[in-house]
Amino acid sequence: MKSLSSFKKLISWSRKNFSELPWRKRRSLYYTLVSEIMLQQTTVGTVKNHFDRFLEEYPDVEILSLSTEEEMLRSWKGLGYYRRAKNLRKAAMDVMELFQGKIPLDFEDLKKIKGIGDYTASALLSIGEDKKALALDANLERVLSRLYGIKEAKGPKLQKLLREKFEKKEILSEMEKLSPRFLTEALMDLGRTFCQARKATCLECPLKDCCVAFLEGKPLSYPTGAAEKKEKFFELKLLRVVVEKGNKVLAYQKKDGEWLSGQWELPTFILLSVDKNLEQYPFYKGKLAWKKLKSYKTSITKYKIENYIWVCSEKEFLTLMEKKNSYAFHDPLKGDLSTASMKALSYLKR
């Protein structure tokens, strides 16, 4: 069977090039849970730099469940999207409370755990336990659409269709003769390298001989409408206020629903925003020649941000005080000040 031979070739390519990823060198359900949560919305390279260090602090689900939220957020620094850290901690607590510290191997039981949805449950089964399951992330969605020539727009409808075809053995029927773990990881590797959203390097792909999109000569037309989609970014100018007292700086802890919730941040105000609906920060209402201040660039979600740094006294800051934020002097060396805030402090030393 041509496709079985091609899948074996794909797995061989994947294991040759990516078996050194730390979460693949040491296998366990717990390691798979940690890596899958970390890899959500974060590049493999970034996770690679943090995975081993994190596991030194939290080597098993019990120790992770006993951590405080503050400790967890500090350990997560550098990975971004901090809600995932909270979800991982809650998942560990649920595993201890509901399943006596053992991650279950039943799909529905897995979904009872906070922070675990269809994808993560399937990934724990296929990658963590090497059981037949379709762990459908964005890479697999795209690769399978092209491989089998499935004309459907990227999103829930395509995902539902792929799951139905998988259950009927209309796609990936070869998984029963191969390792679900190695095949799933190989397809994900393919999506990150040769079969990207806006670039398909088909001639180097191990699956090209049985790929409908390649044989048709138009891989970027799958999933339908995917290549044409353009993300909209908003320009945003923020004022980062630095008020120092000894070795500490004035800061506040971000609330749930705010960017970087749980972290500490310098007092921050909106100077200009293209997005009129943005409510992450209050608007600056004073008079200040902010265009002459030192500045640096950052970005988050769909915002490209120019950050301006204003150093002032505590007395000056009181005129800007917003009741909704509780400010306190905070030690930057604690490690839980946001990256953007740490950048502001570092720029002042230049």
Catalytic residues: 36
SS3 (DSSP) at 339: helix
The answer to whether 341 and 264 have CB atoms below 8 angstroms apart is yes
Q: How many CB atoms are located within 10 Å of the residue 70 CB?
A: 14
φ, ψ for residue 124 (rounded to 5)?
-65, -35
Contacts of 154 (CB under 8 A, 6+ apart): 141, 142, 145, 223, 224, 225, 226, 229
How crowded is residue 47: how many other Cβ atoms within 10 Å of its Cβ?
22
Strands (E) located in the chain: 234-242, 244-245, 248-253, 264-265, 268-273, 295-300, 303-311, 328-330
Contact 338, 328 (CB under 8 A): no
Torsion sign over Cα 74, 79, 83, 89: negative
Which residues neighbour 97 within 8 Å (Cβ) at sequence distance 6 or greater? none
**What are the structure tokens assigned to 347, written together?**
């720029």
DSSP type of residue 284: P
